[in-house]
Amino acid sequence: MSQPPAVIRVVNHPLLQHHLGRLRDESTSPAEFRSLVNRVAMLLGTAATESLTTKEATVMTPVADATVRQLNQRIGLVPILRAGLGLVDPLIELIPSAEVWHLGLFRDEATAEPVEYYRKLPETDPVDIALVVDPMLATGGSATLALDVLRQWGVPIVKLVVLIAAPEGIAAVQEQFPDVEIIAGAIDERLNEKKYIVPGLGDAGDRLFNTLR
C-alpha cells in the first residue's frame, strides 16, 4: 500500500482545543496535565486512524448473526521516549491490538540535535502502519530520526501524531519525508533561541512526570 500525499492536519475538535488550552496553562498540575494529555491523545488518535482499512466478518449476537467490520492491518505505536509515553495508554485504549515499539532519543542541549540511546524494534516483519507519537514537534530532529528508523524497518505507512507543532519542525519533516502525514492539535508561532516552541506548553516530559526542578 502506498503512502498518502503529505498532509498537515490540525484537529480542530472543540473538546481537543479546550483540553489543549488547559495543557498550556502553567498552573495545571502534573496529575491534571497527564489526564488532559490522555484526552487530547485519544482525539488525535481517532483522527489519525480514520484511514485504517477493515475486512468483513460475521459474529453471533444474542439475537442472530451480524455482519461486522474488523481491522485488517497491523498497527504499531512508536513513542519517542520519554515524553511520548504519555500518549500511549489512550491510543492502546483505542487500538488494543496495537504493537508498541520504543525509541529512546534525547536532545543534546549544546547542539539541539537528537541522540539515540535506545531502540526496541525487530529487524524484520514490519507493521503495516506506524504512529510515531511525541507531545511536541519542535526542531523536527527527533521526529525525522524516528521516521528514518521506521523506513529502514520497512514500514509502508507512517504518521506523526503530536500535541503541538512548530513551523520549523513541520518544515524539517516535509523536507526529508514529504509523504508523512502530521496530525497535530495546534501549529504554534515559532521556536525561541532555546529551541522551545512559542507559546507552547513548556517541557511536556517534565510536566507529565512531575520532574520540574
Q: How many domains, the chain?
A: 1
For 89, residues 6+ apart whose C-beta sits below 8 A from its C-beta are 38
pLDDT tens for each residue of 143-183:
999 999 999 999 999 999 999 999 999 999 999 999 999 99
Report if residue 50 sits inside a domain.
yes
> pLDDT at position 103, please?
87
pLDDT tens for each residue of 21-47:
999 999 999 999 999 999 999 999 999
Alpha-carbon distance of 50 to 200, in angstroms, equals 27
In the predicted structure, residue 5 carries a pLDDT above the cut 50: no
- Amino acid at site 80: I
Report if residue 1 sits inside a domain.
no
Which sign, positive or negative, has the C-alpha torsion 11, 128, 117, 169? negative
Average pLDDT over residues 202-213: 86
Report if residue 2 sits inside a domain.
no
Report if residue 14 sits inside a domain.
yes
In the predicted structure, residue 114 carries a pLDDT above the cut 50: yes
pTM: 0.89
Measure CA of the first residue to CA of the last residue in the chain; give whole Å: 47
- Amino acid at site 103: L
Of 113, 152, 150, 106, nearest to 132 by C-alpha is: 150
3-state helix, strand, coil in the chain (%, to 5): 35, 30, 35
Report if residue 82 sits inside a domain.
yes
Report if residue 181 sits inside a domain.
yes
Domain with 96 in it: what CATH number? 3.40.50.2020
Report if residue 3 sits inside a domain.
no
Which runs of consecutive H residues, i.e. helices, occur in the chain? Answer: 14-24, 30-48, 88-94, 141-153, 167-176, 204-209
DSSP strand pairing (181-187 vs 114-120): unpaired
Q: C-alpha grid cell for residue 137?
A: 514537534
Of 84, 114, 116, nearest to 101 by C-alpha is: 84
Report if residue 189 sits inside a domain.
yes
Full domain range(s) for residue 205:
8-209
Average pLDDT over residues 70-79: 94
- Amino acid at site 135: P
